[in-house]
Amino acid sequence: MSETILKIQEVSKSYGLKLALKNVSINIKKGSIYGLIGQNGAGKTSLLRILNQIIEADQGKILFKGLNMTSKSVKEIGYLPEERGLYKNMTIEEQALYFAQLKGMTKSKALKQLNYWLDRFEILEWKKKKTQSLSKGMAQKVQFMIAVIHQPDLLILDEPFSGFDPINANLIAKEIKNLAQEGTTIIFSSHRMESVAEMCNDICLLHHGKIILEGSVEALQKQHAKKNYEATLSNISEVEWESFLSNPSYKTQWIQTKNKEMSLTTEETSNGADKLLEDLLKVGQVVSFTQHLPSLQDIFIKTIENE
């Protein structure tokens, strides 16, 4: 069982009369990719800024690697903010070395890590270029490198794919997964539900400063799944098929026939998945049988609507 590297306990934050976070508690395991989702104003950015010691919580406690998080903890955290910012008149090398040394790296080690990432992104020849000459996508890569150059134990990514075309978004996604496999813990905040579902082990949904949904993506999908199933059959018995269609326990929604196989979607209303599979086996040979799971987007919308 993975150890918990970050414990957020009963954290609250207000700006005047506006409540941004209310009693937020989260445990994040080492080496995991944890998704933070929610609408604008849900409290995500406030929580990320508290973790980065940019602002203070009004109440609550944060433990990082078993100890109270302090300003010294920031040297072990990498942060890619949603609002990017690079010094336009500095070269990529100057900028990366400056930020790396702020995190406590020696110049020689920082330069070695910079060369590693420049080579990995196949832009080693760009090292001496000023950032004002970079395209938006290239500048995003530089910002990502600056966030990871000091090899942080905790990496916080706020909308990490913003500004990337699909090819470069896939490249960054691959690097994020590699970092997690190597032991880096990642907090991944995004509005793009498909990215969160693909990238994250566990998620939480913030709404008006409170957590209203939390767990693994797989568990949440199963929890919110309707009793809809997809099946493909071959060697079909017409008699048994007619019997299945007339069974009031099932509502068959669509049928598609191809290459002597029939694919169907059906909703079982009373008997359960085991009985449905048993009845389908009477109809013919079951090639595939799966439960249709809702997307994270569907779960997100439904949960918000029910609040």
Structure tokens at 106: 């020696």
- Say yes or no: 14 and 129 in one domain: yes
- Say yes or no: 124 and 102 in one domain: yes
Instruction: Count other Cβ atoms within 10 Å, centred on residue 283.
Output: 22
Rounded CA separation 32/224 (Å):
23
> Which of 164, 193, 218 is at the close of a domain?
218
Q: Is 254 within 8 Å of 229 (Cβ atoms)? A: no
List 262's β-bridge partners, or say none: 233, 257
pLDDT tens-digit series, residues 201-210 = 999 999 999 9
Instruction: Count other Cβ atoms within 10 Å, centred on residue 300.
Output: 22
Least confident interval from 67-76, 89-98, 270-279: 270-279
Structure tokens at 9: 């306990």
**Is residue 302, in this structure, part of any structural domain at all?**
no
**Is residue 55, in this structure, part of any structural domain at all?**
yes
- Say yes or no: 116 and 243 in one domain: no
Structure tokens at 293: 């799971």
- Say yes or no: 238 and 162 in one domain: no
Residue 237's domain comprises 226-291
Rounded CA separation 265/76 (Å):
50
- Say yes or no: 137 and 100 in one domain: yes
Pairing type for strands 261-268 and 250-258 reads antiparallel
Rounded CA separation 103/288 (Å):
53
Q: Average pLDDT in the 52-59 region?
A: 94
Q: Average pLDDT in the 101-120 region?
A: 95
Residue from 190, 195, 197, 188 nearest 147 by CA: 188
Q: Exposed, middle or buried: residue 298 (CB in 10 Å: 0-12, 13-18, 19+)? A: middle
**Is residue 233, in this structure, part of any structural domain at all?**
yes
CATH of the domain at 266: 3.30.70
> Which of 183, 199, 218 is at the close of a domain?
218
- Say yes or no: 150 and 258 in one domain: no
Structure tokens at 265: 């979607």
CATH of the domain at 88: 3.40.50.300
Domain count, the chain: 2
What is the DSSP-derived secondary structure letter of residue 125? G
pLDDT at 85 over 90: no
Rounded CA separation 115/212 (Å):
43
pLDDT tens-digit series, residues 195-252 = 898 999 999 999 999 999 999 988 998 888 878 889 999 999 999 999 999 998 888 8
- Say yes or no: 190 and 270 in one domain: no
Calculate the average pLDDT of the chain.
91
- Say yes or no: 234 and 140 in one domain: no
Distances (CA, A) of 178 to 98, 210, 291: 25, 31, 30
